[in-house]
Amino acid sequence: MRMSRRFGHTLREAPGDAETAGHALLLRGGFIDQLMSGVYSYLPLGWRVERKVEHIIREEMDAAGAQEVHLPVIQPIELWEKTGRKQMMGDVLFQLTDRRERGMALGPTHEEVITQLFDRHSSSYRDLPVTLYQIQTKFRDEARPRGGLVRVREFTMKDAYSFDLDDAGLDASYEAMFRAYHRIFTRCGVPVVAVEADSGAIGGKGSQEFIFLTEIGEDTIVMCDACDYAANAEKAEFVRPPAEPEEAQPLEPISTPGATTIEDLARFLDIPTARTAKAVFFMATRKDGRHVPVFAVVRGDLDVNEIKLMNALGVSDLRPMLDAEVAAHGLVAGYASPIDAPRGVEIVADLSIPSSPNLVAGANRADAHLRNVNYERDWTAGTVADIALAQPGHRCPRCEGGTLQTGRGIEMGHVFRLNYTYTDPMDVSVLGADGKPVTPTMGCYGIGLGRIVAAAVEQHHDDKGVAWPASIAPYDVHLVGLGLDRDEDVRVDADRLYDELTAAGIEVLFDDRGDSPGVKFNDADLLGMPIRLTVSSRNHKAGVVELQLRDGGRPAEPIARADAAARVRAFRDELFDALRPA
RNA sequence: CGGGGAGUGGCGCAGCCUGGUAGCGCACCUGACUGGGGGUCAGGAGGUCGCAGGUUCAAAUCCUGUCUCCCCGACCA
């Protein structure tokens, strides 16, 4: 590709709404362009990167035995109603109607479609196991797109789905995808950690996310400093700091004027927050659409984890209660009590509550609390479960002596054991060897392509620009021709070198423009091809071209002009080898 | 959805407070010089100031409404 013919330009200054370094560089380099909030066009250079990521994913999926398909973006809404996910996805689902007023959705994911497809084309246990995948555009009407390519409303995803006859089969399919994912991220130059995760709207029993750790991440990850336990904060378990065992003391009302928060209360009574019970109210939406008021109780030193609470209740949505609703349900904000709580309110207690005696809790009237509140003796909850948020400093649930830390990250991929979440409601079965119907068990596996691009830039850049991993760089070589318009010999030689490299299977971006050296070198740094070759009168007279690696690992070196193609291939191979999975 | 910020040539910004018919840098076009880290000079093209309404002799500027974008949070695969 000749730069003189390149569509688009580099920018000296990044557009003002680019917040992260990576996003700014993608815009400055002319890799992507924003059309509207959360919707981006890929320009030629950016699209080459995306296609290389696709290619790597295809190779690894195929190697893992998965078969590529291509499913429709546009889908009948009935399919989403059947599994109850129309309700569950809510506003995230882009919906439209055709000319006959038939309801449709733009696919945010494809479990329903693939499951129906599988059902229509599989009838025997002999057809299993099978893993299907596609690379397809997804549409999700996100409440708030952010961070350039990090969270968008239209994006390319590789989604794969496995169908197996039993748990052992699912385990094998899942493992194969898990290994393939590690290989994919390694080959793309994006370091990830696998963490335990909540399954969210996809459903199923157990999932793991591949997280790229970065300060700009939107997920909080909890990691043990002693063992390899790592989990999304939504899911993370932890060992609760133990309470002092002591005899239950008599219940005692106390006056606590103005102490409406746990911090106020603990200060007012001069006790640790762990000696109090914290009450938090929510409105939950059941899967049948009914709204239920929820009264969650955690020990005062802990916070409610809304995801865990949703899972404990088995509800599809949860939001904090409005002040008016709190009052309407007979609850006194700041002084609510689980003792004699209003009827119709679902009470959920955290695991920390039964094991912590003599807590201070609300009295359900203003300016008053109760001392020595004890679970079981004074009140009970409809549900006792792990509904608390793991915090830095908590003890690890998987090892002795480990302490949990937190970090930020971006979810690059997510693998789920779906089990029968879709095959059951969609009545999918195949005939088993014994002639009886068997319901297949499913897994699903997703990777966000744009996020790989975003993470790769975030991970591989400096203040001058991008330094693409060789595996996904738009071109292998940035050939800089200096003074081509002044020295005919050099121009001819540069053209020849360009052809030689291309003929040798090397992808070359050739800067044949008439700009000054500074402009060209700065563009080369910004655009980030892994290998830079400089052709100039000076080099030409010496019979050399100058080679420099973008990652700064070694100084520029002159190489013999005659060996250029061979040397470049050697360097290229070396760079690819460094990205080879172990 | 709550809070905050911003919309002025392709990009970055000034002008707005105190109304008088739009300016700077980069990029772009022409020419000359220059030529190994965004070079210099000269000459150009390009914007009805997000949109609508109002106030006024006169609105980028004041008022009202509205749309869009970004950030924090809520939410989220």
Structure ipTM: 0.95
Q: Is the pLDDT score of A423 beyond 90?
A: yes
The answer to whether residue A71 sits within a structural domain is yes
Q: Is the pLDDT score of A153 beyond 80?
A: yes
Shared-domain flag, residues A166 and A291: no
Q: How far apart are CA A415 and CA A225, in angstroms?
A: 24
Nearest nucleotide (CA of A37 to C1'): B69
Positive or negative, the Cα torsion across A7, A12, A15, A18?
positive
Nearest nucleotide (CA of A207 to C1'): B77
The amino acid sitting at A573 is D
Query: What is the pTM assigned to this prediction?
Result: 0.95
Give the end of a domain, one of A431, A457, A483: A457
For residue A576, with 0-12 CB atoms within 10 Å meaning exposed, 13-18 middle and 19 or more buried, which class applies? middle
Q: List chain B nucleotides near protein: any atom < 7 Å from a Cβ.
A: 1-2, 5, 10-13, 25-28, 34-39, 68-77
Shared-domain flag, residues A190 and A159: yes
Q: Is the pLDDT score of A236 beyond 90?
A: yes
Q: How far apart are CA A268 and CA A481, in angstroms?
A: 74
Q: CB-hemisphere CA count at 13 Å for A43?
A: 17
Q: How far apart are CA A571 and CA A545, in angstroms?
A: 14
Mean pLDDT, range A478-487, rounded to an integer:
94
Integer distance in angstroms from CA A467 to C1' B68? 34
Residue A197: which H helix or E strand, with range? strand A193-197
Q: CB-hemisphere CA count at 13 Å for A558?
A: 11
Which pLDDT band, with edges at 50, 70 and 90, does A200 fall under? confident
Which pLDDT band, with edges at 50, 70 and 90, does A167 fall under? very high
Integer distance in angstroms from CA A365 to C1' B55? 54
Shared-domain flag, residues A357 and A329: yes
Q: How far is CA A342 from CA A92, A346, A438, A484, in A?
A: 34, 9, 47, 84
Nearest nucleotide (CA of A448 to C1'): B77
Q: Which two tokens stand for residue A507?
A: 């992808």
Dihedrals phi, psi of A477, to nearest 5 degrees: -130, 135
For residue A144, with 0-12 CB atoms within 10 Å meaning exposed, 13-18 middle and 19 or more buried, which class applies? exposed
Shared-domain flag, residues A375 and A278: yes
The answer to whether residue A236 sits within a structural domain is no
Q: In terms of residue numbers, what domain contains A310?
A: 252-385
pLDDT digits (tens, 9 = 90+) for A542-559: 999 999 999 987 889 999
The answer to whether residue A227 sits within a structural domain is no
Mean pLDDT, range A288-310, rounded to an integer:
89
Q: Which two tokens stand for residue A317?
A: 């949505």
Shared-domain flag, residues A67 and A124: yes
Q: How far is CA A254 from CA A277, A361, A364, A414, A578, in A?
A: 15, 10, 12, 50, 67
Shared-domain flag, residues A158 and A63: yes
CATH code for the domain in which residue A570 is found: 3.40.50.800
Q: How far apart are CA A353 and CA A488, in angstroms?
A: 83
Mean pLDDT, range A146-150, rounded to an integer:
92
The answer to whether residue A293 sits within a structural domain is yes
Between strands A32-36 and A39-42, the pairing is: antiparallel
The answer to whether residue A333 sits within a structural domain is yes
Integer distance in angstroms from CA A324 to C1' B62? 40
The answer to whether residue A63 sits within a structural domain is yes
- The three state secondary structure string of A92-112 is HCEEEECCCCCEEEECCCCHH
Dihedrals phi, psi of A342, to nearest 5 degrees: -55, 145
Between strands A346-350 and A291-299, the pairing is: parallel
pLDDT digits (tens, 9 = 90+) for A329-380: 888 888 888 898 888 889 999 999 999 999 999 998 889 999 999 999 999 9
Shared-domain flag, residues A174 and A293: no
